[in-house]
Amino acid sequence: AQSVTQLGSHVSVSEGALVLLRCNYSSSVPPYLFWYVQYPNQGLQLLLKYTSAATLVKGINGFEAEFKKSETSFHLTKPSAHMSDAAEYFCAVSAKGYDKVIFGPGTSLSVIP
Amino acid sequence: DAGVIQSPRHEVTEMGQEVTLRCKPISGHNSLFWYRQTMMRGLELLIYFNNNVPIDDSGMPEDRFSAKMPNASFSTLKIQPSEPRDSAVYFCASSFDRGASNEQFFGPGTRLTVL
């Protein structure tokens, strides 16, 4: 079975500050990990994904995430927040041989001017 | 490419009425997913298809919900009869093949309100 937890349902950062959104996963097999972003009144779109290649994954809009097997984590970071980063962020897990992607509960990011 | 297309974008109906949500996946994608998003339950997978065949419908909440995919370019999610607790945003997503590492492309969603 696979699962995802996201620490913090809501995170606020100042514009220009570091963004850190936490994700921990559980998987009985090597996982595939994803971060999706959802802007208001839109569907989800992929930010980045880890599929067992490099552990540091770079995505769109300056985001990156690092896969840490020992910590079962896949935290999302961005060095400097922009107002346009305000959105809902979802971490998700899947694995080879599994068709379904399991989404976490989401973290709402607010950026304060 | 136009992306995943969903219609209607908004639907308001009365309890007991039939509701049909529609989805056109991205051309060339052969996996299609229906999700429901609510504040209480987050994003839930209802059903997914591969090559127009339903693979897993374990997320469909009850018999009032049904989904079809008559061809590679069209799918419907039907609720009959609808209830207020069905109010949610329903997303359709598609991906190229059923590989677990494949990105899912989401439509803009249908916001359903059942009065």
The pLDDT of residue B98: 66
Partners of B107 on chain A (C-beta within 8 Å) are 43
Chains A and B form CB pairs within 8 A to the count of 54
Tens of pLDDT along chain A (113 residues)? 789 999 999 999 999 999 999 999 998 888 999 999 999 989 999 999 998 778 999 999 999 999 999 999 999 999 999 999 999 999 999 987 777 889 999 999 999 99
The pLDDT of residue B106: 95
Look at residue A75 and give its three-state secondary structure: strand
pLDDT in tens, B38-61: 988 889 999 999 999 999 999 998
Q: Is A108 on the interface with B (CB under 8 A)?
A: no
Partners of A101 on chain B (C-beta within 8 Å) are 45, 100, 104
End-to-end CA distance of chain A: 41
Look at residue A43 and give its three-state secondary structure: coil
Q: Which residues contact B62 (CB under 8 A, 6 or more apart)?
A: none
Q: What phi, psi does A11 have (nearest 5°)?
A: -130, 135
Q: Which residues contact A37 (CB under 8 A, 6 or more apart)?
A: A44, A45, A47, A87, A88, A89, A90
Would you call A99 and B43 a contact, using CB atoms and an 8 Å cutoff? no
What is the mean predicted confidence (pLDDT) over B77-87?
Answer: 97
Q: What is the DSSP letter of B30?
A: -
The pLDDT of residue B96: 87
Predicted confidence (pLDDT) at residue B97 exceeds the cutoff of 90: no
Predicted confidence (pLDDT) at residue B100 exceeds the cutoff of 90: no
- Indicate the pLDDT class of residue B2, thresholds 50, 70 and 90: confident
The pLDDT of residue A64: 97
Q: What is the DSSP letter of A46?
A: E
Chain B interface, Cβ < 8 Å to A: 4, 31, 42-43, 45, 48, 50, 55-56, 91, 93, 98, 100-101, 103-109
The pLDDT of residue B1: 64
